Amino acid sequence: MVAMTAATPLLSEASTLSDEQLLLRIRNGESRLFELLMRRHNGRVYRAARAIVRDELEAEDIMQEAYVNAFAHLHQFEGRAKFSTWITRIAVHEALSRRKRRAHMNALDPASDETSDVLAARAGGSPEDMAVRQEWATLIERAIDALPEAFRTVFMLRAVQEMSVAETAECLDIPEETVKTRLHRARGLLQKALLSRADAATPLAYEFHLSRCDRVVDAVFRRINHAL
């Protein structure tokens, strides 16, 4: 394991280096540069873990575990695959292991409930367009979460994270043709689910929200008062 060192002022300069160049310098003692690798691949690692456990807090915990394990075993990374694939695979295995342990615990204790899905609260203002975007994002996230795990994980890596078929297959230890088949099935299930929800929500489309109403009323009365 590489020993941790004090923070280096070279993070900004090193941000343009490739993963391979960063790994070389980390192994040579500049362990603080591992932060750049983390920030560079956080989105991919999070989505891989989130696809399996369907819980944001647990996904973050899995990310931490994956990065700690990766750092401790950097000497085992031989570069046959990309670092991004390697770290994603570590996260996937950790997430699957946790799912397996949870299922075992639930089997021993039927009264225990599986961790419920958690959607992070979204901060923001009140404009209608922001509200609509948030509603759609939540709708899509819930539809993805409802997919069977095998389809959900492939969809998250391929469609959301935009990993290649080969990378996804390597991360999940499945054939490339299986990746293609599961992605096709996932898209079909999502389309069906979203269309169903859209049909139910159609009568509520283009609602005239109170904030918009207030703006129009205020604008009209400003013009009326100005004309008087």
Residue 21 half-sphere exposure, CB side, CA atoms within 13 Å? 7
* Helices 165-172 & 176-201 angle (0-180, nearest 10): 100
Q: Specify whether domain 120-228 bears CATH 2.60.40.1260.
A: no
Asked whether this chain's domains 1-118 and 120-228 adopt the same fold, the reply is no
Q: Specify whether domain 1-118 bears CATH 3.40.50.20.
A: no
pLDDT on residue 119? 36
Q: pLDDT tens track of the chain, all 228 residues?
A: 444 444 456 688 888 999 999 999 999 989 888 999 999 999 999 999 998 988 888 999 899 999 998 998 998 898 888 999 999 999 999 999 888 877 666 655 544 444 344 333 444 444 555 666 677 778 888 888 889 999 999 998 998 888 899 999 998 999 999 999 999 999 999 988 888 776 665 565 555 567 766 776 777 777 767 775
pLDDT on residue 193? 86
pLDDT on residue 8? 54
Beta-bridge partners for 118: 55
Where are the chain's structural domains? 1-118, 120-228
pLDDT on residue 75? 87
Residue 114 half-sphere exposure, CB side, CA atoms within 13 Å? 12
